[in-house]
Amino acid sequence: MATLRIDLQGGFDRDAAEIWVDEERRWREDAVTTKFTLDLAASVPLEVPDGPVDVRVVLPERGLEETIEALVAGETYIVARVEDDRLVLEQLAEAPYYL
């Protein structure tokens, strides 16, 4: 097993948010809001098997969702943000940090 960390970054404003991994809902929270000073709303660590997985982030109340195929190996990092009314997902090679 490996750790897949999904950071919900900018553009979240009291949103219900869900994270699905390979069609299984693994996380849900209401009122997800970006912390202005950090550009971070939530940091979600999930245990997943090594190898390729489909990661889907859904904002059901805004009708937004986006999927990314991530190759999980050891610590893996995905960031999600809302830009121009669409979700953008990206896999990063190194751990993002905030300050």
Q: In Å, how far are 36, 57, 95 from 47, measured between CA atoms?
A: 28, 16, 16
Residue (23 or 97) nearer to another protein, CB: 97
57 binds another protein (CB under 8 A): no
Site string for another protein, 5-44 (x = CB under 8 A): x-x--x-------------------------xxxxx--x-
16 with 57: CB under 8 angstroms?
no
Backbone phi, psi, residue 82, to 5°? -100, 120
Q: Which residues bind another protein (CB under 8 A)?
A: 5, 7, 10, 36-40, 43, 84, 92, 94-99
